[in-house]
Amino acid sequence: MHDKISAEDQALLDKFLADNKMFLGPDPEIMRNHGVAPRSEAEEAVLSKGFDAHRAHHIRGLVNAALSESFQMVNQMGAAPGAKWGDLVTAIYTANGNLAMIAPHGIITFAACAFYPIRFIIKNWMDDPTVGVKDGDGFIHNDARYGGVHNTDQSMMMPLYYKGELICWLSSTIHEGENGACEPGGLPAAAESKYDEGIKMSPFKVVENFQLKRDLVTFLQNSVRDPKLQLEDMKVKLHAVMRLRERIVAILDQFGREALIGTMRMHLEDTEVEVRRRISELPDGTTRVLQFMDSSLRENIMQKISVAITVKGDRMIMDFRGTAPQFLNRSVNTNLASFKAALATGLLQNIWPDLPHTMAVLSPIEVITDRNSIIDAEGEMPQAMSLMPLFKACVAWTIPMAKFNYSLPKKYSAIIASQYDQAATFIYGGLTQHGDVTGNFCGDINGMGQGARSHADGEHSVSPVFGFMADSGEHEINEEDTPIIRLGAQRLAKDRIGFGKYRGGMGYEQIATARGSGLWGFMTGCEGSKFPSAQGLFGGYSCPSYQLMKIKGINIFEELKKNPNVVEVFDIIKLMNERPIPGGKYSSNDMGMTFELCSDGEIYMICQGSGGGYGDVLERDPALVMKDVREDLLSPDLAREIYQVVFDDKSLVVDEEATAKLRADVRRQRLARGKPFDQFCKEWVTPEPPAHLPYLGSWDNNAEIYASSMGQRVKMPADQMQGVFMPNPKDVAIMQLEGEVEKLKAQLAECQSSK
């Protein structure tokens, strides 16, 4: 054996290994690096000469306009429901795959992921004689393991050559929905392995000479439930990117290559400098928050996400160690690159909305995770419902950053509690009334309640947690295209509120049924039925828990025919408590439901959620309390019990004096019942999670991870984390039922023997 080989032999060995790689899987060198790559030679050549900031500003405006135009094209022409609501983005990248600019509207996260596949193409296909990259090529991709939020999003990526030189990359991404997974609609909570997730496109060439290759398109159409959608949107994305290309070429014609190269690089570098400057304004130290997710969407199981943000000078470190381990057979894992893209989105959405939408907002921030945790899952893990940890990433900033930001003499945006962060919408699939097979999800996902602000209540159903711009869709269009009928929609969910001095913005009720399909079904993918999801701030309460309600075994259309007044109003609480539809099987369930068939006229009901509250409820202005009562958002009982306001039932006039007295009494009661912290901790803190609670994550020490695997509790070092395997919920239910049968049999035998 030789310990050392010559440089020549080493080079030969490296080349041999590179040429003979068995599988070009997701490349850790690409996927674990969210940083802006160093200046290329071309960039250095342009910038070292000095580049006029005014010129950069001018070019940036033109590029932004071009991105905006291509965004509008996809928004107008896209066939996917998501495209119609704005669940898309277009973007431009430097020649070496740095995400330079994102369309001024749309979903930041998509583009914040798409530089990974572009880097993959550059590294692997550019010099590969069997693939190559040339003018007129277009590449498609959907597998989040190569970069992406989840496999339901598809990107079109195109290199832009100008006078023979690769100047930049362009992309367009849409949340397409259907992708041929084990459940319709593209978000299969039932996926137990990555092979249940539907088509998994690593980046490959699907366009040559600006034309789709029909053989590959057909292959993709053949792999999904909605072949028309697959074709239409591939065309839409291609032509939007081609229009963007025309605009960028026009900029190059007018201003030259150096102007664009310089602008993109300067944009990235300036953003990084500004982020570091803002970090250095924050106090040094660490702020922390814990996020708890109570479901795998197949069963209730508590998963902790531990967040510690440390600031030291102009350095910021986000430390997620102590977070729950990955699931081997549940789809709520995410890979680290997707998680970071969601972090970038959350930072822009909640903390510094005025910063340019580019990868440079996150690149200066260091991220530490435990490998094989639920937010840094290994490639074989299913991650079709990665939305669960990703939505948590979007709001991970809000509480700890408010604790850094509050002191600042100059704030860049309002102090705000957490937005509701669950995908509270119906995912659907089956046969339409037109005989087409389809699967997708509804625009109600975009109506999440805003967190309360330090100076005002949160806005109701304001936007999705992952984007500023998104419509909640037109139910009429949906009813034309699918058998879904809305019995109730956009009615604010009364009393389901994140209470506080300022309350969270509320979510709305969604009541749906199906009609005229031989085969139709729904699924829902939300946590927060046992443990609330949107956190309050500075003494404000979280949102409540939310449930999925069903009325099965009836046909509401038949009932309405028999008695048009059978339901006075489609209000979830009234329907569930008064049970006006005879013969219905009413149930209240977890918000995580795998695909389930819905017969004509059966009713499914969910809510969008409230944002977290801000501040002590006793400081809420009684006038604001009564405004909520008058607007029928809040019951008079809750106005009294939560906010401690004294008022006249009929006139709703507040007795200010009595209210002040009552609130003073309540403060005294607090003093009487509260215990000093150290004493409280002695009584409260347990050495490990309670035995009854299926629990994943650290407890008192982030280096030790608790897990429940196959029903058994285990403890492991965080740096040697193993995945968790969950038993089939039906097997668990059968086991419980068998246990009950055995017990009943024994009781029966006892009765018989005593006779």
Q: Looking only at residues 68 through 127 of this chain, which bind other proteins when binding is defined by CB under 8 A? A: 72, 75-76, 86, 105
Q: Distance between CA atoms of 15 and 33, rounded to whole angstroms?
A: 23
Q: Return the residue of 61, 65, 222, 680 that touches other proteins, per CB under 8 A.
A: 680
Neighbours of 182 (CB within 10 A): 19
Nearer to other proteins, 127 or 700 (CB): 700
Least distance from other proteins to the Cβ atom of residue 103, Å:
11
Q: Return the residue of 9, 246, 632, 700 that touches other proteins, per CB under 8 A.
A: 700
Q: Judged by CB under 8 A, does residue 503 bind other proteins?
A: no
Nearer to other proteins, 87 or 370 (CB): 87
Task: Kindly indicate which of the ranges 126-134, 239-247, 510-518, 670-678 contains the residues binding other proteins, using the contact rule CB under 8 A.
Answer: 670-678
Q: Judged by CB under 8 A, does residue 491 bind other proteins?
A: no
404 in Cβ contact with 287 (< 8 Å): yes
β-strand pairing of 508-514 with 603-607: antiparallel
Q: Distance between CA atoms of 239 and 220, rounded to whole angstroms?
A: 19
β-strand pairing of 365-368 with 423-431: unpaired
Q: Return the residue of 93, 391, 499, 706 that touches other proteins, per CB under 8 A.
A: 499
For 488-547, the DSSP string reads EEEEE-TT----SSBPPPP-EEEEEEE-S-SSEEEEEE---SSS--SPPBTT--------
For 356-392, the DSSP string reads -SSGGGTTTEEEE--TTBTTS--TTS--TTTHHHHHH
Q: Which of residues 442-461 bind other proteins (CB under 8 A)?
A: 450, 453-456, 459
Nearer to other proteins, 26 or 689 (CB): 689
Q: Judged by CB under 8 A, does residue 535 bind other proteins?
A: yes
Q: Judged by CB under 8 A, does residue 284 bind other proteins?
A: yes
Q: Judged by CB under 8 A, does residue 667 bind other proteins?
A: yes
| Alpha helix ranges (H) inside 123-256 | 214-221, 227-255
Count residues near other proteins (CB under 8 A). 109
Q: Judged by CB under 8 A, does residue 411 bind other proteins?
A: yes
Q: Judged by CB under 8 A, does residue 393 bind other proteins?
A: no
Q: Judged by CB under 8 A, does residue 569 bind other proteins?
A: no
Q: Distance between CA atoms of 67 and 89, rounded to whole angstroms?
A: 9
Q: Judged by CB under 8 A, does residue 199 bind other proteins?
A: no
Least distance from other proteins to the Cβ atom of residue 472, Å:
10
Residue holding tokens 């209540």? 457
Q: Judged by CB under 8 A, does residue 286 bind other proteins?
A: yes
Task: Kindly indicate which of the ranges 155-163, 167-175, 383-391, 397-405 contains the residues binding other proteins, using the contact rule CB under 8 A.
Answer: 397-405
Q: Distance between CA atoms of 510 and 441, rounded to whole angstroms?
A: 13
| Amino acid at site 543 | C
Nearer to other proteins, 31 or 617 (CB): 617
Q: Judged by CB under 8 A, does residue 642 bind other proteins?
A: yes
For 153-183, the DSSP string reads EEEEEEEEEETTEEEEEEEEEEE----S-SS
For residue 49, the number of C-alpha atoms closer than 13 Å in the C-beta half-sphere is 11
Nearer to other proteins, 370 or 527 (CB): 527
Q: Judged by CB under 8 A, does residue 715 bind other proteins?
A: no
Q: Distance between CA atoms of 371 and 375, rounded to whole angstroms?
A: 8
Q: Which of residues 145-164 bind other proteins (CB under 8 A)?
A: none
Nearer to other proteins, 89 or 217 (CB): 89
Nearer to other proteins, 455 or 630 (CB): 455
Nearer to other proteins, 692 or 755 (CB): 692
Task: Kindly indicate which of the ranges 228-236, 373-381, 569-577, 722-730 contains the residues binding other proteins, using the contact rule CB under 8 A.
Answer: 569-577
Neighbours of 288 (CB within 10 A): 13
x-marked contacts with other proteins along 588-607 as a string, rule CB under 8 A: xxx-----------------
Rounded to whole angstroms, what are the CA distances from 355 to 352, 362, 661?
Answer: 6, 11, 47
- Collapsing DSSP to helix, strand or coil, 88 comes out as strand
